[in-house]
Structure 1
Amino acid sequence: MAAVASPITSTAYRPHPTEKMKAALWMGTRNIQVGQVAKPTITDPSDAIVHVTHATICGSDLHIYEGELNKAMRKGLIMGHEAIGIVEEVGEKVQRVKVGDRVIILPVIACGKCDYCARQEHSLCDSTNPSKEMEATYGHRLAGIFGSSDLTGGYPGDQAEYCRVPNADLTCVQVPKDVDAKKLLGLADVTATAWHGCELADVGNGDVVGVWGSGPVGLSIQRLAKLRGARKVYAIDKDPHRLKYARDFGMIPIDASNHTDIADYLLSIQPHGLDCGIEASGFRSTNSTKHAAMRSVGLERDSGDTVSAILKATRKGGRVALIGDFFFETHDFPIGMLMEKSITVRGGQLMAQKYLPFLLDLVVNEKYDPSWMFTYEDEFENIAEDYRKFSQHQIPGSLKVCLVTEFGRSQKY
């Protein structure tokens, strides 16, 4: 399908002529700085300006932090795509979102008008990402995403005191003012991404599920899989702290560092294989010296190690979901095993606009509480150091940090 003209007039950061704000700025590999930049203004009548109260760092932000996307980055780009706040200003075409509303800012920016949005496939939106490089590489452009490089539109992120939100009626979700901030912040991306992973793998009643990765997203997938009726959930990781969370949540933890072939081990204890295998560890999760060698000479950028293990451990006719941000290519992919075992593989960015009404109801009605993922709280001004800690698994509690802005510290929720 040919791309259509964007209804959003600009992805550019149009600054306020006088007012300044603090923001987390990408300045190079492992170099995030808190700087004073101009406050954004309305650039399109469908925009809103949100005064951010709480934000956090995502595992996918670390791909940028570690330099994986340097060619698509610009110094000074505002980072981040997980935040909540209060609407301060709206454009003249914004109808649903009102000044003073408390909102979740969704990570994916969608137009709401193209064929993909009509099917609620918002992350595949035709209209909100002007990247010609992505179109040349993938054959199509995907939706715009906040703070995630020029490949996804170059939109300034929301790790800042203010954020310009395009197409605010679709990109902001109004939320109650009496719900704990960490519950809402956990909904912004992690919980929705985890639900998306369960959807892609079609996790259902009685399933045996294996989840590679027990970080915030992986643990969320595990818990939501149980909520959806999974009979047994294996949690695979190397971090002992995260494996303890999995055990405490009722999963079966497996320390991948104790096994030379994790798929063989899984099949030894689950001979039938997994009904669903879900990858939530990312393209940097590797075990083989072969990948390391190919990567060192520039022959490979993404790793097929984890995907190979998942395919081997998944039963014939099973389902596999990939959500860990693969960007490039791998030369070591077991296509024969995929085909011969009749396995269905699906992947993709979250479709937050589709899932949030349901997930918000779960949280508001106290059927699911995502606040557990925030094992540390800090002032937003310390975000540069928190990036370093998160990258090195040094965040207290080993999961996510809840960053509170000066404005957020002044609010009473």
Structure 2
Amino acid sequence: MQAASNAAQHAMGDYPTVVHPEYKPRQDGGTMKALAWFGTRDVRLVEAPIPDITEPDDVILKVTGTTICGSDLHLYNGEIINLQKGDILGHEFMGVVDRVGPNVKNLQPGERVVASFQIACGECSYCEQKLSSFCDRTNPSSLQNAMYGHRDAGFFGYSHFTGGFPGGQAEYVRVPKGNVNLLPVPDEIPDEKAIYLSDILPTSYHNVMDTGVSEGDVVGVWGLGPIGQCVAKWAQLKGASRIIGIDRVPERLAFAREKLGIETLDFSVHKDVVKRLQELVPGGLDVAMDCGTFHQPKTLVHKVEKALMLETDVSEIVNEMIMSVKKGGRCGIIAAYAGYTNHFNIGALMEKGVRLIGNGQAPVHKWWKEILNDYIIPGKFDPSFIITHRVPLDDFPKLYEAFDKREGGVEKVFVETQFSSPPSVGCPTTTRVSEWAKV
């Protein structure tokens, strides 16, 4: 993006103006609020042109709900490569169809939809299997191809490493392949229950399904952010006999105990997680799932190696999982790792016969209809349990800071725009971040 000064006062406030090179601004003009990245821990609300149809299968959405995801913190903290100043962030959002391209026949203006965080073409061999995160055609990043041997699909608002697509922390979004990447939402399902079909619900469900959690399993969940909390909930629904959540944030540990009724392990108290788990589960866990984060090393050696750029990620949680599961146990990684790590316990992996599964970026298209039709609509899974706060779009910069510091008991936030409906019954009402966080 290229930043340009703009002396004109925006109707809703004074913001710098940015213009993204991929944007085709709407012919009748108009600007929108959007959250853009300008550097490490530097995100700003900006004024950007409202996008228009660029390709015949595009859809333009008015955003009615957006949010911040734990993986957005990797962008915020400057740990994801190929970010450019002015990039509009956000990959988890929903809205109302505003405009459709001439090739879009399955959606109409005014229809409520939720967007897949990944952009799938709908036609390649992976898309034909509903493995939308593996789409071969929508991410042009040669760097990702060089690092991983192949490319994932393009993602909204997640750097040029994933295609450079402007994201959904904005009032409007252009959705490429909108006929493929938008799911209609029934009128009886409020936004608070639908928005997370965009990411955390398919992601957490995929983690549980891919690792084969089944009746009677003893499960360990590393990281009790929104993904970890949802993973624990899905594991309960799949019949796990015992679930132990591992974290160090008091509010998250309390949330898991009170909302889900699971056991918890505070690794700031029990610093030797493996030893404590072996005491709690002498035979070993059946399944261990990494729902945490790669950017907070525990030990001095990893802190030094990360600071010196000798590794991008740390192997501590993965090693703990391998050591904690029983022989022949299953370990799933849904946490967002980016590059390389040191001190990986490959010996224990081999000798114990552990199945280490890189769950990958979850294939949203494979699961979102199943989750909506089999769980949300019948009331078997109410995603709104994870929402702790609702804030206006103007508060996004402060929200990033509060979310990064885990202040105010924040788990998942519903961020409203000028197009949002009022809060649903039983869901948080609108507050300002300054009311509950010291930022």
Q: Into which bin does the TM-score normalised by the smaller protein fall?
A: over 0.9
Match of 1:226 in 2: 236
Contact 1:187-1:370 within 8 A present in 2 as well: no
Specify which of 383, 399, 403 is matched with residue 396 of structure 2. 383
SS in 1 for 2:394: helix
**CA distance in structure 1 between the partners assigned to 2:231 and 2:424 by the alignment:** 31
Contact 2:53-2:101 within 8 A present in 1 as well: yes
**CA distance in structure 2 between the partners assigned to 1:272 and 1:112 by the alignment:** 44
1:242 shift after superposition: 0.7
Percentage of matched positions with identical amino acids: 38
Matched, 1:105 2:106: no
Q: Which amino acid aligns with 2:239?
A: G
Specify which of 387, 397, 406 is matched with residue 409 of structure 2. 397
Instruction: Output one character per residue of 1:69-124: Cα deviation in whole Å (capped at 9) or x when no partner.
Output: 2x410111110011111001111111212211100011011111111112221111
SS in 1 for 2:199: helix
Instruction: Output one character per residue of 1:330-364: Cα deviation in whole Å (capped at 9) or x when no partner.
Output: 01101111111111111200111110101112111
Match of 1:292 in 2: 303
TM normalised by structure 2 equals 0.89
* Superposed structure 1 runs of 4+ greater than 6 Å apart: 410-413
Match of 2:419 in 1: 407
Q: Which moved more, 1:396-405 or 1:274-283?
A: 396-405
Residues 250/412 of structure 1: CA separation in 2 closer, same or farther (3 Å cut):
closer
**CA distance in structure 1 between the partners assigned to 2:113 and 2:87 by the alignment:** 23
**CA distance in structure 1 between the partners assigned to 2:23 and 2:404 by the alignment:** 28
Contact 1:11-1:154 within 8 A present in 2 as well: no
Specify which of 308, 319, 326 is matched with residue 315 of structure 1. 326
**CA distance in structure 1 between the partners assigned to 2:173 and 2:79 by the alignment:** 25
**CA distance in structure 2 between the partners assigned to 1:397 and 1:298 by the alignment:** 32
1:11 shift after superposition: 9.5
SS in 2 for 1:229: coil
SS in 2 for 1:387: helix
Specify which of 196, 213, 216 is matched with residue 223 of structure 2. 213
**CA distance in structure 2 between the partners assigned to 1:316 and 1:119 by the alignment:** 32
1:409 shift after superposition: 4.8
Matched, 1:59 2:66: no
SS in 2 for 1:187: helix
Q: Which amino acid aligns with 2:346?
A: I
Contact 1:285-1:306 within 8 A present in 2 as well: no
Match of 1:199 in 2: 209
1:14 shift after superposition: 2.3
Q: Which amino acid aligns with 2:311?
A: E
1:390 shift after superposition: 0.6
**CA distance in structure 2 between the partners assigned to 1:147 and 1:52 by the alignment:** 14
Q: Which moved more, 1:315-324 or 1:182-191?
A: 182-191
The alignment yields a C-alpha RMSD, in angstroms, of: 1.6
**CA distance in structure 1 between the partners assigned to 2:236 and 2:142 by the alignment:** 41
Contact 2:116-2:197 within 8 A present in 1 as well: no
**CA distance in structure 2 between the partners assigned to 1:344 and 1:285 by the alignment:** 25
Contact 1:107-1:189 within 8 A present in 2 as well: yes
**CA distance in structure 2 between the partners assigned to 1:385 and 1:320 by the alignment:** 35
**CA distance in structure 1 between the partners assigned to 2:24 and 2:291 by the alignment:** 35
Contact 2:33-2:170 within 8 A present in 1 as well: yes
1:272 shift after superposition: 1.1
Contact 1:11-1:153 within 8 A present in 2 as well: no
Residues 268/175 of structure 1: CA separation in 2 closer, same or farther (3 Å cut):
same
Matched, 1:349 2:341: no
Specify which of 262, 271, 278 is matched with residue 273 of structure 2. 262
Contact 2:200-2:226 within 8 A present in 1 as well: yes
1:297 shift after superposition: 1.5
SS in 2 for 1:27: strand
1:398 shift after superposition: 2.2
1:27 shift after superposition: 1.0
Match of 2:11 in 1: none
Pairwise mapping of residues 359-370 of structure 1 onto structure 2 (< 5 A)?
359-361=371-373, 362-370=375-383
Specify which of 361, 366, 370 is matched with residue 358 of structure 1. 370
Residues 172/146 of structure 1: CA separation in 2 closer, same or farther (3 Å cut):
same
Instruction: Output one character per residue of 1:241-284: Cα deviation in whole Å (capped at 9) or x when no partner.
Output: 11111112111111111122101110111011111100000112
1:188 shift after superposition: 2.0
Listed as ranges, the gaps of 5+ residues in structure 2 are: 1-19, 426-439
Instruction: Output one character per residue of 1:374-403: Cα deviation in whole Å (capped at 9) or x when no partner.
Output: 111111111111111111111x33212111
Specify which of 47, 54, 64 is matched with residue 43 of structure 1. 54
Residues 184/116 of structure 1: CA separation in 2 closer, same or farther (3 Å cut):
same
Instruction: Output one character per residue of 1:20-78: Cα deviation in whole Å (capped at 9) or x when no partner.
Output: 11101111111111111011111111110010011000000000001112x41011111
Match of 1:13 in 2: 23
Contact 1:122-1:353 within 8 A present in 2 as well: yes
Matched, 1:120 2:130: yes
**CA distance in structure 2 between the partners assigned to 1:309 and 1:410 by the alignment:** 44
Residues 316/412 of structure 1: CA separation in 2 closer, same or farther (3 Å cut):
closer
Matched, 1:282 2:293: yes
Match of 2:105 in 1: 95
**CA distance in structure 2 between the partners assigned to 1:286 and 1:208 by the alignment:** 26
**CA distance in structure 2 between the partners assigned to 1:99 and 1:133 by the alignment:** 37
Match of 1:80 in 2: 90
